[in-house]
Amino acid sequence: MITKVMEKSQIKVITGNAAAAIAAKLARPDVVAAYPITPQTEIIEQISKFHANEEMDCELITVEGENSAMNAVMAASLAGGRVFTATSSWGLAFMYDAVLATAGARAPVVMVNVNRETPGIIAVSSGQQDMISTRDCGWIFLIAEDCQEVLDMVLQAYRLAEDYDIQVPVMVHYDGFYLSYLSEGVDVPFQEDVDKFLAVLKDQPERTKLTPGEKLGCGSHGILGGYLELRHKHVSAMERSKEKFKQIDKEFEDIFGRSYGGLIEEYRMDDADVVLVGSGSMCGTIKTVIDTKRDAGVKVGLLKMRMYRPFPSEAMVKALKGKKAIGVVDRSLCFGFKGGPIYTELKAFETKLNGSKMISFIDGIANTDITTANVGQMIDTTCDLAAGKDVREVTWVSYPEAQEDGGL
């Protein structure tokens, strides 16, 4: 992240959830609808306080469940309003049908999802399985590393979702517990600067919306002939969002002095022989260990994914091409397939990496921490791979017993 000192700033020590709520307030939404669920609850509590104190001029709909929340913001968005909602875990699962409908309607909804596990035992624990369970719903997915990026990414999400050439809902993901309840110093933008950043949208043609009196076709029987066209346009818009997001990041830097690199962030990658690929809050820990390893003479770098859908394959291949070895760190599972989800997707582009070898690390799920020791182990194993040693393709870092069961 590139940061320059701004002439005016206001640093506040706030949680990741508070950062998301403040970003929503700064975006001036017309409608907010949500239902509380751990670890997202603080977002809605904070927005409720803003609304009660007349700091936020919007319709706040406190619905009876997450399915209604998504349907409410989808309808408001299709009527032309700017909307916001947030959820987590089982709440995301409960609104699944509406998540699909929102994407299909190309409603530019912005939603924050505070990732946590959704296992059968209903454990409240860490993990990014939320993100993986909905990755093919037709939403753009962005992933924040720290509290500052949570705030900034929500603002960038509005620019992306509501852009006339995109008009696709955006889900901003960050790690539950690790960021939702973490307090950090955050540079909170002034309202006039946010208004300036979002003002570009007012100069664009009016986006598609439902208008009384105009003809409207609904239901599968009415659009069978054009369904393929609608799907293709949706996919094309998501592909365009890659270049658009890079442009938005540059414009964000011009106003706020912070740049994250667009689709991906590269950390000490220039001369790196081995690279770890990660996303979310783990990247802060990985950067710390990389600095220590660099001091010891190990040429290691980090590729942080900021966008997960659409998959930033071109940017990742360009950054990783020619590296001796790549270790992909997943905080989620790809059931029925060998390796973590991001690993399996990046593996599809292995032939374009000019011989780079690749392995998968699974860690940070089910209340396990991605510790500095664990990251050090990942780097050492990836270095072994680069040196031509025989290493396991998939390593469950915090569960060594997995290496003994003869499976992975």
**Common-topology check for domains 9-208+217-256 and 264-403:** yes
Q: How far is CA 138 from the centre of its chain?
A: 14
Please indicate whether residue 222 or residue 130 has the higher confidence score (pLDDT). Answer: 130
- What pLDDT shows up at residue 3? 54
Please indicate whether residue 228 or residue 349 has the higher confidence score (pLDDT). Answer: 349
Helix axes 227-256, 96-104, angle to 10 degrees: 90
- What pLDDT shows up at residue 86? 99
- What pLDDT shows up at residue 220? 58
Can you tell me the distance from the alpha carbon of 317 to that of 337, in angstroms, rounded to the nearest whole number? 22
Best mean pLDDT range from 14-28, 116-130, 226-240, 337-351: 14-28
Residue 188: other Cβ atoms inside 10 A: 18
- What pLDDT shows up at residue 391? 96
pLDDT in tens, 50-62: 999 999 999 999 9
Domain ranges of the chain: 9-208+217-256, 264-403
Does CATH number 3.40.50.920 belong to domain 264-403? yes
Phi, psi of 146 (to 5 degrees): -140, 180
Stretch 131-154: mean pLDDT: 98
Spatial CA neighbour of 116 closest among 16, 262, 1:
16
Is the confidence at residue 384, as pLDDT, over 70?
A: yes
Supply 82's token pair.
């700017």
pTM of the model: 0.95
Supply 365's token pair.
């799920």
Residue 215 makes CB contacts below 8 A (sequence gap 6+) with none
- What pLDDT shows up at residue 224? 61
- What pLDDT shows up at residue 199? 97
Stretch 320-325: mean pLDDT: 98
pLDDT in tens, 182-195: 999 999 999 999 99
Is the confidence at residue 1, as pLDDT, over 70?
A: no
The 10 Å CB-count burial string (b at 16+, else e) for 9-45 is eeeeebbbbbbbbbbbbbbbbbbbbbbbbbbbbbbbe
Q: Residue 217 — pLDDT band, cuts 50, 70, 90?
A: low
Q: Residue 215 — pLDDT band, cuts 50, 70, 90?
A: confident
Is the confidence at residue 374, as pLDDT, over 70?
A: yes
Is the confidence at residue 89, as pLDDT, over 70?
A: yes
- What pLDDT shows up at residue 212? 82
Rounded percentage of the chain residues whose pLDDT exceeds 70? 93
- What pLDDT shows up at residue 338? 87
Note the CATH number of domain 9-208+217-256.
Answer: 3.40.50.970
Q: Residue 208 — pLDDT band, cuts 50, 70, 90?
A: confident
Q: Residue 361 — pLDDT band, cuts 50, 70, 90?
A: very high
pLDDT in tens, 332-358: 999 888 899 999 999 999 999 999 999
- What pLDDT shows up at residue 400? 84
Is the confidence at residue 360, as pLDDT, over 60?
A: yes
DSSP letter, residue 189: P
Q: Residue 402 — pLDDT band, cuts 50, 70, 90?
A: confident
Q: Residue 408 — pLDDT band, cuts 50, 70, 90?
A: low
Residue written as token pair 């505070």 = 114
Spatial CA neighbour of 351 closest among 320, 310, 307:
320
